[in-house]
Amino acid sequence: MNPYLDIHPEVAAALKEGRPVVALESTIISHGMPYPQNVETALRVEAAIRENGAVPATIAVIGGRLKAGLSPEEIEYFGKKGRAIAKASRRDLALLCARGEDGATTVTTTMIIAHMAGIQIFATGGIGGVHRGAETTMDISADLEELAQTPVMVICAGAKSILDLGLTLEYLETKGVPVLGYQTKELPAFYTRQSGFSVDYRVDTPAELAKALYTQRQLGLKGGMLVTNPIPEEYSMPKEVIDAAIDQAIRESREQGVKGKETTPFLLARVAELTGGESLASNIELVLNNARLAARTAAEYCKLES
């Protein structure tokens, strides 16, 4: 086992016994929502995974240790420190471990640590992707590269709608990452169910998702799989409302010179303000929805491996 990795005893027992485990990221706790909603949501998401037959493993870096599974006290610690905790992408892990520091894991680093621990399936809100204007800024999320090389299935509500969704799909195609729509052929756009872009395949049940992942492993193909699960209809926001808020937030970020890893947190927070908090409520519901699907898929995957 990796000498910097600590697996929570409950998670370790489940993995040893061949029971389903679902990874969760910690950036959503520290950077995605304000306190105390971030802690409340994290605990609700873990509870949703348990209710659907799996063990949750929230991933983080604490004191230079890679953590696969957090205690409620550690989740509370992350929630209270919030943005004082650094966002940790692939480039940051070695320095954080060497210095004994904390890091909130993004999609990229959650995939890396989940794979180290032997966790196959990861639920999140939305992945990063190609930012608007990337043809001049080259601002492309490391999430896409990680999906191309790390064998973890990521279940999300699509790429964040603040991104260039068309270019994000093109990048994933170039990297050979399968993009599956859960009960849909259209790419969901995080806060909304429609984007106008098509995904590679429609898959209708958790058992089908598990079989696709299992077959990819049997074939020996490298890289992950991306499952896009639309936000439930009752929580989906009108496309014109969310698009207007995103356009304004992007204009403001450029005017204020927001760049790099601060871009996504700034845009998500500003969109929440512009929509009167409606986008935050939608964000919480889509994460819960993805967690439930991930738990059911992990349970089906364990059946195939038994």
Instruction: Give the pLDDT confidence score for residue 42 in this predicted structure.
Output: 97
Q: Is 91 exposed, middle or buried (0-12, 13-18, 19+ CB in 10 A)?
A: exposed
Instruction: Give the pLDDT confidence score for residue 27 in this predicted structure.
Output: 94
Instruction: Give the pLDDT confidence score for residue 63 in this predicted structure.
Output: 97
Buried b or exposed e, range 124-139, using 16+ CB within 10 angstroms: bbbbbbbbbebeeeeb
Number of domains observed in the structure of the chain: 1
Tell me the C-alpha distance between 126 and 80, whole Å.
Answer: 23
Instruction: Give the pLDDT confidence score for residue 184 in this predicted structure.
Output: 97
The maximal CA–CA distance of the chain, rounded, in angstroms, is 55
The amino acid present at 15, given as its one-letter code, is L
Instruction: Give the pLDDT confidence score for residue 192 in this predicted structure.
Output: 87
201 in Cβ contact with 178 (< 8 Å): yes
Q: Which residues are catalytic?
A: 25, 160
Q: Is 188 exposed, middle or buried (0-12, 13-18, 19+ CB in 10 A)?
A: buried
Structure tokens at 198: 């098509």
Instruction: Give the pLDDT confidence score for residue 281 in this predicted structure.
Output: 82
Instruction: Give the pLDDT confidence score for residue 58 in this predicted structure.
Output: 98
CATH of the domain at 187: 3.40.1790.10
Structure tokens at 294: 């991930």
Domain with 83 in it: 5-305
Instruction: Give the pLDDT confidence score for residue 167 in this predicted structure.
Output: 93
189 in Cβ contact with 126 (< 8 Å): no
Closest CA to 181 of 216, 156, 210: 156
Tell me the C-alpha distance between 275 and 291, whole Å.
Answer: 25
Closest CA to 62 of 47, 46, 74: 74
Whole-Å CA distances, 83 to 29, 32, 102, 261, 266: 9, 9, 11, 12, 11
Instruction: Give the pLDDT confidence score for residue 194 in this predicted structure.
Output: 82
Instruction: Give the pLDDT confidence score for residue 240 in this predicted structure.
Output: 82
Question: Is residue 227 helix, strand or coil?
Answer: strand
Which of the residues in the chain have pLDDT under 50?
Answer: none
Instruction: Give the pLDDT confidence score for residue 160 in this predicted structure.
Output: 73
Tell me the C-alpha distance between 78 and 42, whole Å.
Answer: 10
pTM as predicted: 0.92
Instruction: Give the pLDDT confidence score for residue 166 in this predicted structure.
Output: 92
The amino acid present at 87, given as its one-letter code, is K
